[in-house]
């Protein structure tokens, strides 16, 4: 092959440059390439490329008709006695729709470093895939409803409603006092739905300044307002596309934003602030509130039409005092949680303490119980939690509950419970002729608890 010196110099400027004919036989190889392979050009011309370079991918490229651009290849360099890596392009030569040959050319030389990074990235991608598979398997093994602790009738009822509606895509409103676990139930709803592999986006309407809430929810285009980020910002609605959006403390949403939210829900598309084109979104909405929305509607602070749009299904989570049966399971769960987190070995909560806990009104609900257990675990890192470390709980019990009673209806419930307790204690004492130890045994409570109750209710 006779090239002018200029052509030869140009072709030798690459570490490898090779041309093959339609049968994958070598038609040309530049000098640097022959040196790397330690061959003579005249010996390899006309030979099948695979017989000279066994690792070549050029035949595959020709068979598929699809080029490899930016591929990495490694060869043993006979000149230096080391492996050498290139970034190369492999291109099929096509004329009138027929592959008439192929060409491979290096685009970067000496890319050992890039190659290492590439292998690292590849390794991480493989690891990531493995993690994804493991997460998926774990997700399949664990029923998301198992993360909701409690077997009281109320909780069982809510769990079965969640199981029925999780996959429906209907909007759900979770109501209940602070700390009852609305977020725990919202999580289960998302995890149990077919949307669980997409985003679960949460936004707390009370925690974000009112004038920022709109841009957080709907996003904005670059330069939409002073201080806006140059490239704009994606909103939570877009982020939750295909998944679930949890609007926490929805009762705190300002009225003008409520109108915009209603429009978005009806039209299923959002418009970023300063944007002109609406963006289609497929979002399942869950709203949480510890406020009485009907009261807010009456006060003119919440739109009735939005309320009817978001409460297609309303799940009212009862306060802990109305499901005292859940206390032992919750205590056990939190003890184990703190043991895991702190490396401690608290054994559990004694019956007597559980009985005490079941007399308290828990204005802060499960969250308050969790903190109480945290404190008790800290005090009893290696033993069971007994009455001896419960002074602060007794103080809570003897405190003025009316101050922390969140619902008026509760006052009568608590009074009824106290009055029933007084009757039962009096009756048992009469039965035992005033023998307190015997009465405590019959009542299934510790003697100290009975003494405390006698004092509390002023029973002689
Ligand atoms: N049934 C439950 N099982 C396990 N943990 C629970 C349960 N209910 C509540 N918790 C725990 O109690 C704490 C409070 O729950 P959560 O934050 O969901 O309450 P909330 O109803 O959203 O309260 P708020 O209205 O104040 O936001 C959390 O740490 C949560 O994990
Ligand atoms: Mg919450």
pLDDT in tens, 276-298: 889 999 999 999 999 999 999 99
Q: Can you list the alpha helix ranges (DSSP code H) found in 5-111?
A: 5-11, 31-37, 41-44, 49-52, 58-64
- Matching residue, tokens 């608590």: 414
Residue 79: its pLDDT value, please? Answer: 81
Domain 5-110, architecture per CATH: 2-Layer Sandwich (3.30)
Residue 111: its pLDDT value, please? Answer: 62
Residue 225: its pLDDT value, please? Answer: 74
- Matching residue, tokens 């939750």: 240
Q: Does domain 144-318 have CATH number 1.10.760.10?
A: no
364 Cβ below 6 A of ligand 1? no
CB 195, CB 242: distance < 8 Å = yes
Residues of the chain with pLDDT under 70: 108-116, 227-228, 230, 399-416
CA end-to-end span of the chain: 120
CB 94, CB 65: distance < 8 Å = yes
183 Cβ below 6 A of ligand 1? yes
Residue 101: its pLDDT value, please? Answer: 95
Domain 322-456, architecture per CATH: Orthogonal Bundle (1.10)
Which ligand does the CA of 365 lie closest to? 1
Please give the Cα distance from 98 to 107 (Å, whole number).
Answer: 26
Nearest alpha carbon to residue 90 among 99, 78, 98, 82: 99
Pick left, alpha or beta for residue 458 (phi over 0 → left; psi -120 to 50 → alpha; otherwise beta).
left
Residue 87: its pLDDT value, please? Answer: 82
Please give the Cα distance from 47 to 433 (Å, whole number).
Answer: 113
Residue located nearest, by CA, to atom 6 of ligand 1 = 181
Residue 415: its pLDDT value, please? Answer: 67
355 Cβ below 6 A of ligand 1? no
Per domain, the residue ranges of the chain are 5-110, 144-318, 322-456
CB 261, CB 306: distance < 8 Å = yes
Please state, as a whole number, how many other Cβ atoms lie within 10 Å of the Cβ of residue 431: 12
Domain 5-110 and domain 144-318, same fold? Reply is no
């Amino acid at each position: 092959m006779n090239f002018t010196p200029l052509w030869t110099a140009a072709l030798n400027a690459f570490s490898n440059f090779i041309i093959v004919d339609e049968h994958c036989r070598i038609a040309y190889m530049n000098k640097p390439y022959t040196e790397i392979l330690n061959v003579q050009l005249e010996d390899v011309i006309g030979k099948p490329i695979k017989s000279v370079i066994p690792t070549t991918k050029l035949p595959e490229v020709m068979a598929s008709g699809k080029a490899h651009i930016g591929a990495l290849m490694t060869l043993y360099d006979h000149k230096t006695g080391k492996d050498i890596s290139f970034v190369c392009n492999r291109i099929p030569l096509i004329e009138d729709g027929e592959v008439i040959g192929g060409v491979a050319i290096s685009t970067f030389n000496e890319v050992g470093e890039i190659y290492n990074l590439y292998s690292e990235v590849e390794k991480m991608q493989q690891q990531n895939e493995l993690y994804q598979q493991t997460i998926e398997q774990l997700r399949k093994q664990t029923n998301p409803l198992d993360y909701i602790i409690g077997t009281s009738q109320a909780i069982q009822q809510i769990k079965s409603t969640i199981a029925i509606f999780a996959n429906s895509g209907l909007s759900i409103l979770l109501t209940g006092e602070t700390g009852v676990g609305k977020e725990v139930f919202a999580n289960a709803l998302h995890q149990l739905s077919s949307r669980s592999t997409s985003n679960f986006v949460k936004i707390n309407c009370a925690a974000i300044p009112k004038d920022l809430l709109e841009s957080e929810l709907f996003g904005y285009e670059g330069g939409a307002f002073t201080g806006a980020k140059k490239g704009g910002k994606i909103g939570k609605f877009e982020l939750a596309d295909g998944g679930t959006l949890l609007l926490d403390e929805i009762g705190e949403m300002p009225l003008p934003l409520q109108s915009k939210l209603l429009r978005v829900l009806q039209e299923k598309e959002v418009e970023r602030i300063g944007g002109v084109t609406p963006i289609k979104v497929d979002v399942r909405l869950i709203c949480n509130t510890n406020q009485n929305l009907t009261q807010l509607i009456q006060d003119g602070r919440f739109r009735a039409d939005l309320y009817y749009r978001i409460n297609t299904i309303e799940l009212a989570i009862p306060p802990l005092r109305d499901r005292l049966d859940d206390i032992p399971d919750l205590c056990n769960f939190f003890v184990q949680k703190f043991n895991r987190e702190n490396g401690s070995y608290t054994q559990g909560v004694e019956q007597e303490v559980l009985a005490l806990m079941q007399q308290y009104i828990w204005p802060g609900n499960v969250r308050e119980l969790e903190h109480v257990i945290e404190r008790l675990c800290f005090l009893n890192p290696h033993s069971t939690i007994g009455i001896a470390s419960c002074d602060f709980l007794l103080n809570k019990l003897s405190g003025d509950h009316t101050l922390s009673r969140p619902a008026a209806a509760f006052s009568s419930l608590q009074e009824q419970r106290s009055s029933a307790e007084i009757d039962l204690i009096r009756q048992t004492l009469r039965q035992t002729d005033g023998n307190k130890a015997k009465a405590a045994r019959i009542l299934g409570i510790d003697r100290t608890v009975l003494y405390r109750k006698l004092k509390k209710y002023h029973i002689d």
